[in-house]
Chain A
Amino acid sequence: MNSGSVASEIRLLAAEWTIRANGGYLAQACGSAEIFATLYCDVLDLSPSTAPLIPPKFESVPNNFRNEIRGESWLGEGPDLFVLSPAHYGTTQYCALVAIGRLDKKALTSESGDGGLLELIAAEHSPGIVVSSGSLATALGVSVGRAIARKIKNIPGNIWVFLSDGELQEGVTWESLQLASSQSLKNINIIVDVNGMQVDGQMAQLMPIEPIVDKFEAFGWNAIEIDGNNLEAIRIACLEAKNSNLPTAIICRTKPWLGFSFLKNRWDNNKLHFIRLTDDERQDLISEIKSL
């Protein structure tokens, strides 16, 4: 698989989703397409999916009586584990799974409505989702626990956690970071998508979180800062993370408006978090997709 074509496919599928559903988390996909593509093509060591290409219908939330579907099954059985923390990137994960052949493209349409598992805010029965973390900054701490367990049980493989910069505003993120470094974990790394936006607008104007690199280092983490839309830079940073003796955070500076021209205007107007297309935007997006 070629990471460049996977990144393009993620953007295209996410755009088609947004047109079809008349709304979607498109900017999240556009900013992080290169991260997902590089992880799946060049970094993660995953065994084949144990789940079907078309997911079954929703059956149950976890309880004592039924075997609920586990979204983790689409990621196989290791040795690596990829944990998506911000569940608002569910669409990105579904599109990435399609692009790498772990999910049928038809599922994006047939399984994203009522009773389907491809929920707008992903839950842990959704394909590729390990922890229900629509309440942000939930998955990192769970991943730290799993990394500690794997260290105790001497299980090989790395846990890669995808974190969004907005989650750095939550205090529990920092509690999880201090636990990981206090345990000297080498089997967990974080990719932070620093797209600079939150629901209300641009983070720098609302609740600045810089200097991110210094903060990670102060919490005992190795931090690498890169251009998060550069495939080669992501690949090299992940390699460095794998070889590091410290838990490593890769701080990816990304542009959430990359790929479709109307998105930049929305960034400027603080309307990028969720895209409910206007008629003009819809026309522009359809014609741009056609010209791809």
Chain B
Amino acid sequence: MNEIIVKPFASALVKHGMAHENVVVVTNDLTASCEADEFASTFPDRFISAGMAEQGLVLALSGLAREGLIPIFPSFAVFTTRRPYEQIALTIAYPNLPVRLFGFLPGLTTPGGVSHQATDDIGLMKQLPNMTVIEAADATDMETVIDGVFDMPGPVYIRSLRGMVPRLFKEPFEVGKSREIFAGDRVLVLVTGSLTAMAIETVESLRAEFNDLGLICINTLKPFGDQALFAAIAKAKVVITLENHLVESGLASATAMRLAKFPGPTLVAIGIQDTFTHGGSFEYLLKYYAIDANRLKKEIFYAYGKSLAPKDDDLNFLAKRSELNANVAEGL
């Protein structure tokens, strides 16, 4: 069982504020919801409540950064990325300013339906020149990512987890460095973010049968890949990508671009397939959109040429909900 950390980002943000006097936090009415409440009470002079007004808020981030501050904007990923997109593109990405954008409620982790489910945020940010794109997979990532990107001169988007977050990794986050969880050079599973715990459990359960089944967690979507990842991909016969995002513009697309340059393995993309989504529990939605543990298991079986599909729901499903704790002020 994984250790569960409550609000890992909240305390990390306070420590980051202690270490760096030029860091300011700006919110759009989701302060406690995005774990900025402890920073706000610790550093009231470096906290700005900008209201539900994201376009103006992002323009102000640009101004803050141009005066030498490091602004951090934590919100729900849909409101971080899509609502003020023009302003991010032209006033943050284009002038290459050191702004840190955090997007919580990734993909289908929220019951809030189409308006609250960020299924395209990675794609939107990935296609902006100058933008670095990261997805946190566990509590260690959420504790260390803000320090890990501090020295980056340009803007960074971090797809984030809140509330009760499992700890999967001991090593702190490092930009661009993939995390090999299981070595294996025939079938390689690549996973990002909120599905990582589930992928670890699934792959682990099949390793006795398939001892050359590998698993790598990708925490940096852009720039994509380090030498270790590229070497593993080059050796594999089948690469399976697993993401809580549209496959057209997330992990699968980044992997496909790599494979287009350096052909080799077959790519199997598990993720949301060119559709808007609807509201419901995380477990229900993963099953509905076929990105759950059972789907991963089936694809691994197929990759090994086994046609016998495992029966449904025979795994102890461990994709822990990364949110919903008593401290948040909404029901998402």
Residues of A within 8 A of B (CB): 23-25, 58, 61-63, 87, 113-115, 119-123, 125, 132-137, 166-167, 169-171, 198-200, 206-207, 271, 273-274, 276
Contact A123 B331 (CB under 8 A): no
How distant is the Cα of A186 from the Cα of B140 in the complex, in angstroms?
57
In chain B between 290 and 330, which residues have their CB closer than 8 angstroms to a CB of chain A?
A: 326, 328-330
Query: Closest Cβ of chain A: how far from B185's Cβ, in Å?
Result: 39
How distant is the Cα of A114 from the Cα of B282 in the complex, in angstroms?
10
Contact B114 A24 (CB under 8 A): no
Residues on A with C-beta less than 8 A from B227 are: none
How distant is the Cα of A170 from the Cα of B55 in the complex, in angstroms?
8
Beyond the given A24-B331, A134-B112, A273-B330, please list 12 additional residue pairs across the A-B interface where CB-CB is below 8 A. Answer: A115-B280, A120-B111, A120-B331, A123-B113, A134-B114, A135-B115, A136-B52, A169-B51, A199-B30, A200-B31, A271-B329, A274-B329
Chain B residue nearest to A120 (CB atoms) is: B111
Residues on A with C-beta less than 8 A from B33 are: 199
Query: Closest Cβ of chain A: how far from B169's Cβ, in Å?
Result: 31
Chain A residue nearest to B328 (CB atoms) is: A274
Determine whether B15 belongs to the interface, using a CB cutoff of 8 Å to chain A.
Answer: no
Residues on A with C-beta less than 8 A from B55 are: 171
Please judge, given known A-B contacts A62-B276, A135-B83, whether A199 and B329 are in contact too, CB under 8 Å: yes
8 A-B pairs (CB sep. < 8 Å): A23-B331, A113-B280, A122-B113, A125-B278, A132-B114, A171-B56, A199-B29, A276-B326
How distant is the Cα of A63 from the Cα of B114 in the complex, in angstroms?
14
Contact B275 A61 (CB under 8 A): yes
Query: Closest Cβ of chain A: how far from B162's Cβ, in Å?
Result: 14
Query: Closest Cβ of chain B: how far from A142's Cβ, in Å?
Result: 13
Query: Closest Cβ of chain A: how far from B70's Cβ, in Å?
Result: 23
Residues on A with C-beta less than 8 A from B326 are: 276
Chain A residue nearest to B55 (CB atoms) is: A171
Contact B330 A134 (CB under 8 A): no
Of residues B55, B56, B114, B288, which shows the largest number of chain A Cβ atoms within 10 Å of its Cβ?
Answer: B114
Please judge, given known A-B contacts A24-B331, A274-B331, whether A132 and B284 are in contact too, CB under 8 Å: no
How distant is the Cα of A127 from the Cα of B27 in the complex, in angstroms?
32
Chain A residue nearest to B283 (CB atoms) is: A114
In chain B between 104 and 127, which residues have their CB closer than 8 angstroms to a CB of chain A?
A: 111-116
Query: Closest Cβ of chain A: how far from B33's Cβ, in Å?
Result: 6
Query: Closest Cβ of chain A: how far from B296's Cβ, in Å?
Result: 21
Contact B53 A198 (CB under 8 A): no
How distant is the Cα of A14 from the Cα of B78 in the complex, in angstroms?
28
How distant is the Cα of A274 from the Cα of B331 in the complex, in angstroms?
6
Leading 4 A-B pairs by shortest Cβ distance: A134-B115, A207-B51, A114-B284, A119-B279
How distant is the Cα of A169 from the Cα of B32 in the complex, in angstroms?
19
Contact A171 B53 (CB under 8 A): yes
Query: Closest Cβ of chain B: how far from A126's Cβ, in Å?
Result: 9
Contact A123 B115 (CB under 8 A): yes
Contact A114 B331 (CB under 8 A): no
Contact A167 B284 (CB under 8 A): no
Contact A133 B115 (CB under 8 A): yes
Determine whether B42 belongs to the interface, using a CB cutoff of 8 Å to chain A.
Answer: no
Contact A121 B29 (CB under 8 A): no
Please judge, given known A-B contacts A61-B276, A120-B331, A133-B115, whether A198 and B284 are in contact too, CB under 8 Å: no
How distant is the Cα of A87 from the Cα of B112 in the complex, in angstroms?
10
Query: Closest Cβ of chain B: how far from A147's Cβ, in Å?
Result: 23
Contact B284 A115 (CB under 8 A): yes
Contact A25 B53 (CB under 8 A): no
Contact A207 B49 (CB under 8 A): yes
How distant is the Cα of A274 from the Cα of B329 in the complex, in angstroms?
6
Determine whether B2 belongs to the interface, using a CB cutoff of 8 Å to chain A.
Answer: no
Of residues B33, B54, B111, B115, which shows the largest number of chain A Cβ atoms within 10 Å of its Cβ?
Answer: B115
Determine whether B79 belongs to the interface, using a CB cutoff of 8 Å to chain A.
Answer: yes
In chain B between 21 and 48, which residues have their CB closer than 8 angstroms to a CB of chain A?
A: 27, 29-33
Residues on B with C-beta less than 8 A from A133 are: 115
Query: Closest Cβ of chain A: how far from B80's Cβ, in Å?
Result: 12
Determine whether B11 belongs to the interface, using a CB cutoff of 8 Å to chain A.
Answer: no
